[in-house]
Copies of this chain bind each other. A is one copy, B any other.
Amino acid sequence: MAKLASLKSEKRLLDRRAADQIRSHILEGVLPAGERLLETQLSEELEVSRGTVRSALAQLANEGLVKQVAFTRWEVSGASVSDAWEIYTLRGALEGLGARLAAANVQAADGKRLRAIAEELVQAVRQKRFQDAIGIDFDLHTAIVGLAHHKRLAEQHRFILQQVRFHMVQSGFLPDDYEALIAEHQKLIETVIAGDADHAETLARNHNEAEVKLLAKLLKQGASSAGAAREAAS
């Protein structure tokens, strides 16, 4: 008998699927930072009950995409400079650990897989499919972190990358030098494949160092102005 695909992927719990819908709207920028979310409205649009929407919003709150003000409102998280600084510094720490562990137990097949994704990235840039390139960039980092075989780390990293994506959409931030980006990634994955844990960690950590320094500077200067993002009241 031919192997059948599991139906569980279809049978996702309703609240999870509701969360998926709302999440994509947020990540695509349809719902901008600070936007108020009404339980009733969402429940009508998604054709589920308010309780289900509530559960979905609670999940998104844990992922950092949504914020709850008790008894008052739900709103899409802000994209302030301090938020961005938090996101990028945390990302560095998580990906540093991920790269270290990945390098420590990398297999030959893993290396092939990483190089394949890196090649996709190169192709996307060469063909000027920059949106794709950003997605592949994320995939590459996710793949490296995946090699750590660390469930908690993988989950936290997923949430952080989501927030990075969200902040990029809100602030209109885009990489300015794709060639340098490619070079950095290639160096990172080769170091991981070589099994050099210390060096891999450093590279992963410094990957966003420029961005972090810029944000820290903005923070000290006096708070607000995150690209084109409107500041949410904190």
For the side of the interface on A, what is the size category? 20 to 34
Copies in the complex: 2
Measured CA separation A152–B84 after assembly (Å) = 11
Given the complex, which residues of B lie within 8 Å of A94, measured CB to CB? 93
Measured CA separation A54–B101 after assembly (Å)? 35
Q: Is the CB of A90 within 8 A of B153?
A: yes
Is A70 positioned at the interface, with any CB of B under 8 Å from its CB?
yes
Complex CA gap A150/B219 in Å reads 13
Q: Most chain-B Cβ atoms within 10 A of its Cβ — which of A92, A96, A152?
A: A152
Alpha-carbon distance between A87 and B150 when the two chains are bound, in angstroms: 9
A194 to chain B, nearest CB (A): 20
The answer to the question of A51 belonging to the interface, with a C-beta cut-off of 8 Å to chain B, is: yes
Q: A90 to chain B: which residues have CB within 8 Å?
A: 97, 150, 152-153, 156
Question: A93 to chain B: which residues have CB within 8 Å?
Answer: 93-94, 96-97
Q: Is A62's CB under 8 angstroms from B64's CB?
A: no
What residues of chain B lie closer than 8 Å to A210, measured between beta carbons? none
CA distance A8 to B62 in the complex (A): 21
A3 within 8 A of B: no
User: Is residue A161 within 8 Å, beta carbon to beta carbon, of the partner chain?
Assistant: no
A101–B89 CB distance below 8 A: yes
Contacts of A13 in B (CB 8 A): 70
A64 smallest CB distance to B (angstroms): 7
Q: A55 in the interface, Cβ–Cβ < 8 Å?
A: yes
Say whether, besides A93-B96, A97-B93, A87 and B152 are in contact (CB < 8 Å): yes
A143 is an interface residue with CB less than 8 A from chain B: no
- Is A86 positioned at the interface, with any CB of B under 8 Å from its CB? yes
Q: Report if A182 contacts B (CB, 8 A).
A: no
| 9 pairs of A and B residues whose beta carbons are closest in the complex | A93-B97, A62-B62, A86-B152, A93-B93, A86-B150, A90-B152, A13-B70, A90-B153, A58-B58
Instruction: Write 15 A-B pairs (CB below 8 A) sorted by A numbering.
Output: A13-B70, A51-B51, A54-B55, A55-B55, A55-B58, A62-B62, A86-B152, A89-B97, A89-B101, A89-B153, A90-B97, A92-B97, A93-B93, A93-B97, A156-B156
Q: Which residues of A contact B (CB under 8 A)?
A: 8, 13, 51, 54-55, 58-59, 62, 64, 70, 86-87, 89-90, 92-94, 96-97, 101, 150-153, 156
